[in-house]
């Protein structure tokens, strides 16, 4: 019985996600769903991506959080349109919330839409939003064993960004093993090593994203 309920929720979500994708394509908007655990650096990564690409694309942002508009306020300072979704307790964004947010964004004036999902390494992976790309940010202080513990998230994404590489001298984290593990469980994922604090590696990510948009 429980399984049936879950199927119904996911089925309804898929239908709305497909509608979101239609609306995005009608407006020529490329959409990226950014997922990660709390504090991995999603907002910092959104800011770095805006900085790297704002001369080339008109960017919009959807911020997902259980509560507060802290991240939306931070991103709005970059002068891009932002909508904050508060889930009120849910640990992930769903397609219906994105549908609502899309109705509140100037889609005709956006080429690239970045969605910051709710900080969580499990639930967001189960819900398609209508996005073109799913990106996971893993960060050095979380440890290099996370692909084994949260496999769905790591196997679902199109790109894996290892953030906070500036902390590598201080934290036990084997980058080579981590990369090897990702390649084993998700061979198609592009892997980027970045520091959102120093800006290291961001240009490689921006270049790849640009190529995907075109």
Ligand X SMILES: Nc1nc2c(ncn2[C@@H]2O[C@H](COP(=O)(O)OP(=O)(O)OP(=O)(O)O)[C@@H](O)[C@H]2O)c(=O)[nH]1
Question: Which parts of 96-155 interact with ligand X (CB under 6 A)?
Answer: 119
CB closer to ligand X out of 44 and 128: 44
What backbone phi and psi angles, to 5 degrees, belong to 209?
-60, -45
Question: Can you tell me the distance from the alpha carbon of 23 to that of 16, in angstroms, rounded to the nearest whole number?
Answer: 11
Each residue 69-88 as x (binds ligand X by CB under 6 A) or -, in order, gives --x-----------------
Element (DSSP H or E) covering residue 77: none
Binds 97, which of ligand X, Mg ion, none (CB < 5 to 8 A, cut-off by type)?
none
Q: Which of residues 19-38 bind ligand X (CB under 6 A)?
A: 36, 38
Q: How far is the CB of 20 from ligand X (least distance, A)?
A: 22
C-beta atoms surrounding 35 within 10 Å: 27
Task: Note whether 166 binds ligand X by CB under 6 A.
Answer: yes
Residues numbered 188-207 forming contacts with ligand X, rule: CB under 6 A: 195-197
- Least spacing, CB of residue 43 vs Mg ion, in Å: 3
Q: Which does 163 bind (CB under 5 to 8 A by kind): Mg ion, ligand X, none?
A: ligand X
Measured between alpha carbons, how far is 214 from 130 in angstroms, rounded to an integer? 18
Kindly tell me which of 66 and 213 has the beta carbon lying closer to Mg ion: 66
CA dihedral for 96, 99, 105, 107, sign (positive or negative): positive
Q: Is 25 helix (H, G, I), strand (E, B) or coil?
A: helix
Name every residue whose Cβ is closer than 8 Å to that of residue 65 and which is 6 or more positions away in sequence: 71, 84, 85, 86, 87, 118, 119
Q: List interacting residues with ligand X (CB under 6 A).
A: 36, 38-44, 71, 119, 163-164, 166-167, 195-197
């Amino acid at each position: 019985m429980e399984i049936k309920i879950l199927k119904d929720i996911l089925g309804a979500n898929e239908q709305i996600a497909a509608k979101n994708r239609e609306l995005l394509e009608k407006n020529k908007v490329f959409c990226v769903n950014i997922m990660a655990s709390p504090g991995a650096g999603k907002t910092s990564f959104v800011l770095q991506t805006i900085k790297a690409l704002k001369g080339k694309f008109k960017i919009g942002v959807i911020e997902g959080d259980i509560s507060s508009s802290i991240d939306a306020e931070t991103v709005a300072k970059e002068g891009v349109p932002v909508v904050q979704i508060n889930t009120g307790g849910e640990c992930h964004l769903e397609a219906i919330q994105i549908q609502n947010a899309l109705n509140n964004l100037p889609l005709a004036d956006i080429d690239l839409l970045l969605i910051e999902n709710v900080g969580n390494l499990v639930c967001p992976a189960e819900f398609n939003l209508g996005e073109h790309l799913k990106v996971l940010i893993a960060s050095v202080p979380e440890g290099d064993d996370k692909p084994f513990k949260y496999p769905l998230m790591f196997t679902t994404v199109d790109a894996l960004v290892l953030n906070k590489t500036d902390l590598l001298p201080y934290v036990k984290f084997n980058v080579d093993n981590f990369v090897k593990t990702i390649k084993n469980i998700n061979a198609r994922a592009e892997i980027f090593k970045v520091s959102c604090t120093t800006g290291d590696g961001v240009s490689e990510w921006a270049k790849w994203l640009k190529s995907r948009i075109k």
